[in-house]
Amino acid sequence: MIEVCKLIKLFGAKKVLRGMDFHAQEGEFVALLGPNGAGKSTFLRILASLSRPTAGEVRVAGYKLPGQAAAVRARLGVVTHQPLLYGDLTAEENLRFYGRMYGIGDLNTRTDEVLELIGLAPRRRDLVRTFSRGMQQRLAIGRAILHDPDVMLFDEPHTGLDQDACDMLDNVLREVAARGRTVVMTSHDLARVEDLATRFDVLSRGVITASTGRNELRGNLLDFYREALAI
């Protein structure tokens, strides 16, 4: 579903990704771990076609980036630590706006489904700027799954959320993954991703230094992570 080969990304003279290889199969939930500045967000922005790779090959859902970016975007849902929502529109209006941008057919039905799924149906007519950070993040997930994408990218979705909001977000993430979508999520919260992901990749200094499946993980994730960073 996602194939990345020898990916290089330069910002001026600074090399952020240094020949990175990455693969994710259909239905996998990959947690991409790494310290600040490792290139996790840059990598997700390239997968999302928001940034051009300097060199290397990137394919998402069979389509090549950046050449077939529009086809990739139609099959991609993205959630970042910013909600990408308009505060002066209601929850329903935000979803309907993005639904029109994605050309969703039966928008009324789909908006109702998504609002029910994320638990915001009772607040559908409230302005987003009145929402808590946790509610905004749930609506952001609703925005990202509205067009039923095959691949979901989450860039540190737990950032700024309290414990209850994180738990609620995790439930929504499990629902998203249970529908067979391929998920790539960056996070610093090892305890949370340990329960959610089926595979853990560690990105350090622009390359994947270690990768393991949840079933193959020996010991706990923190030890695996520390060992990977030491490589």
Partner 1 sequence: MDHRPQTQKQKPPSTVHRPSSATGFARAVFAITWKDLAAELRSRELLSAMLVFALLVIIIFNFAIELEPKLRPVITPGVLWVTFVFAGTLGLNRSMAIEKDRGCLDGLLLAPVDRSAIFFGKMIGNLIFMFVVEMIILPVYSVLYNLNLFIPGLLLVILLGSVGYVAVGTLLSSMAVQTRTRDMLLPILLFPVIVPVLLAAVKASGGFLQGLELTEIIPWLNLLAVYDVIFLAVAYMVFDYVVEE
Show contacts with partner 1 in window 20-59 (CB under 8 A).
23-28, 45, 48-52
Q: What angle do CA 157, 195, 141 make, to 5 degrees?
A: 30
CA distances for 43 relative to 73, 104, 153, angstroms: 15, 28, 10
Answer yes or no whether residue 82 interacts with partner 1 by CB under 8 A. yes
* Minimal distance, residue 134 CB to partner 1, in Å: 16
Orientation angle between helical segments 107-117 and 91-101, nearest 10 degrees: 130
d(CA 39, CA 213): 21
Q: Which residues pair with 14 in a beta bridge?
A: 11
**All residues at 6 or more sequence positions from 204 whose CB lies less than 8 Å from its CB, including other chains:** 34, 35, 38, 228, 229, 231
Answer yes or no whether residue 97 interacts with partner 1 by CB under 8 A. yes
* Minimal distance, residue 71 CB to partner 1, in Å: 7
* Residue nearer to partner 1 on the CB measure, 98 or 204: 98
**All residues at 6 or more sequence positions from 224 whose CB lies less than 8 Å from its CB, including other chains:** 200, 202, 210, 212, 217, 218
Pick one of 5, 101, 191, 231: the residue that binds partner 1 (CB under 8 A).
101
Answer yes or no whether residue 106 interacts with partner 1 by CB under 8 A. yes
Tell me if residue 209 falls in helix, strand or coil.
strand
Which pair of structure tokens corresponds to residue 173? 């993430």
Q: How many residues bind partner 1 (CB under 8 A)?
A: 56
Answer yes or no whether residue 219 interacts with partner 1 by CB under 8 A. no
Answer yes or no whether residue 73 interacts with partner 1 by CB under 8 A. yes
Q: Taking the CA atoms of the chain, what radius of gyration do you get in angstroms?
A: 18
* Residue nearer to partner 1 on the CB measure, 101 or 191: 101
With tokens 């949840």, the residue in question is 214
* Residue nearer to partner 1 on the CB measure, 164 or 179: 179
* Minimal distance, residue 226 CB to partner 1, in Å: 18
* Residue nearer to partner 1 on the CB measure, 40 or 110: 110
Residues of this chain that bind partner 1 (CB under 8 A):
23-28, 45, 48-52, 70-71, 73-74, 76, 78, 80, 82-89, 93, 97-98, 100-106, 110, 127, 143, 146-148, 150, 178-181, 198-199, 211-216
